[in-house]
Amino acid sequence: MDVRRRLPPKPSLPIPTTESSHHHRKTPFPADVDRSPSPTPKASDALPVPLYLANGIFFTLFFSVAYYLLHRWRDKIRSSTPLHIVTLADLAAIVSLIASFIYLLGFFGINFVQSFVSRADVDFDADPVILEADRRPCSKLMDQPPPPPLLMSLEDEEIVKSVISGKTPSYSLESKLGDCYRAASIRREAVQRTTERSLVGLPLDGVDYDSILGQCCEMPIGFVQIPVGIAGPLLLNGCEYLVPMATTEGCLVASTNRGCKAIYACGGATGILLKDGMTRAPVVRFSTAKRASDLKFFLEDPLNFDTLAVAFNKSSRFARLQSIQCSMAGKNLYVRFCCSTGDAMGMNMVSKGVQNVLEFLLSDFPDMDVIGISGNFCSDKKPAAVNWIEGRGKSVVCEAIITEDVVKKVLKTTVPALVELNMLKNLAGSAVAGALGGFNAHAANIVSAVFIATGQDPAQNIESSHCITMMEAVNDGKDLHISVTMPSIEVGTVGGGTQLASQSACLNLLGVKGANKESPGSNSRLLATIVAGSVLAGELSLMSAIAAGQLVKSHMKYNRSSRDMSKIGC
């Protein structure tokens, strides 16, 4: 049913024209537009009165006759009159009820739909002929013709052809041309011509390609846009933070923001850093388990630690060896080195230190065969019990007490409901699922959003989202104590994606941009604490929404688009 609003013609506005080769006349729209001689009739055109008035009449009629018939039914029951005996007025009321019900069933709400579609699809100040052209159906992406070649210099055109033919490797463009932007542009054009698929919609301009060379991404052809929202202020350890969150999930920022509001109203949250140490665990092999155990005892002997630390620490002025933990599997030995890394996340730093120690050990254990610099006992970018128990990166616990009044007014639920839900969902439910570090509602949501916004490694969200959420009624059961314990938050404020302009701006917003020269490592530790505080806010809000039965309603409101995405970009 077409319920779009008709637009009156605007003869006073000039209409741009183009020459059509098919009709040999000037037309007010492109020649490939499907032109209809007249607008499609609408169902509402058949009504003798305005649509909103017709709806109001039938709405009133329906409830009026329903009320009348109910009263008549009650009177017949009281007077013992058979219900099937009806008067002329009763019969008219029944017919009116059926007629109004049929109308409302088919047409009620049409005025709302009409106004909604009109707002979404029609610009009432635009030219009506152009609007009709814009309503043409979009062709499928697979049916679109290949994109037209970009206007390039003859030299660049030759390079594109060379890349397509395979004579020039795509990965070598930056080094050959000495211009990273030009290399990305040529590579992008070569990809479009090779695949015959358009990259329109994937931006090319707006990124400093020199800054990502050799550090963030290889063979770039553009960048993906992710919206960044702000949650907060988050009141943590007496300081306020506006938390940037990069996400495409509707409702996530709004929910975290509500949690921040509840925490703020109750005096804020407290975050405590428990441990700070990045790990790397190589795997080495010997001919016998006896020889592997000899190295294990050597590494775990406190008398040898200082010697090993000297070899390890020479890799960086920030790397400081903290501990060595060994585990054997037959004649294979896994050695987990843990060290501080300053304000860097530190994977490269600890790897260089491990390499130094392995070279040092070869003098006393020449039969040691180094299988790999990483033996997965670290454990990086994988869910692992060793990270859940021992920690990796920054280990943080964050807590807050939410008063009964705030739980009711801001979170729209009760303390007993939250405590019970947390026990059955986050604790018992996760245990039933066999969760590993996943005793929470959605810590990964907040961690990922903050990680992407601040230039962290998104893949390390896996272990960084290890979290157990605890809720307990306190103060005679009136208030709620909530805490999140996160043993392996892996973040840094220097290196990697943190030096990109957008991510650097988000770090600057939090006051943790770059390295802290006065207290090395304090910026990254503060960032980890902010991540835990944001998770606390997100956990509090989502659990409240579930307890109050608002989860589906909120997602339908904030996480559903009414736009017809098939028409975007056509």
Q: What residues are annotated to the active site?
A: 249, 381, 457, 555
478 near 506, Cβ under 8 Å? Answer: no
**Helix extents (H) in 314-435:** 347-361, 385-390, 404-409, 415-421, 430-432
> What's the distance, CA 100 to chain centroid?
47
> What's the distance, CA 388 to chain centroid?
24
**Whole-angstrom Cα distance, residue 252 to residue 270?**
22
**Whole-angstrom Cα distance, residue 277 to residue 488?**
9
**3-class secondary-structure state, position 313:** helix
Contacts of 461 (CB under 8 A, 6+ apart): 444, 447, 448, 451
End-to-end Cα separation, the chain, in angstroms? 23
Residue 36 tokens, joined: 């209809």
225 near 258, Cβ under 8 Å? Answer: no
Across 137-173, b (16+ Cβ under 10 Å) vs e yields eeeeeeeeeeeeeeeeeeebeebbeebeeeebebeeb
The one-letter amino acid at 562: S
Which of 342, 306, 305 has its CA nearest to residue 324? 305
Across 248-269, b (16+ Cβ under 10 Å) vs e yields eebbbbebbbbbbbbbbebebb
- The Cβ of residue 51 has, within 10 Å, a number of other Cβ atoms equal to 17
Contacts of 164 (CB under 8 A, 6+ apart): 190, 193, 194
- The Cβ of residue 331 has, within 10 Å, a number of other Cβ atoms equal to 16
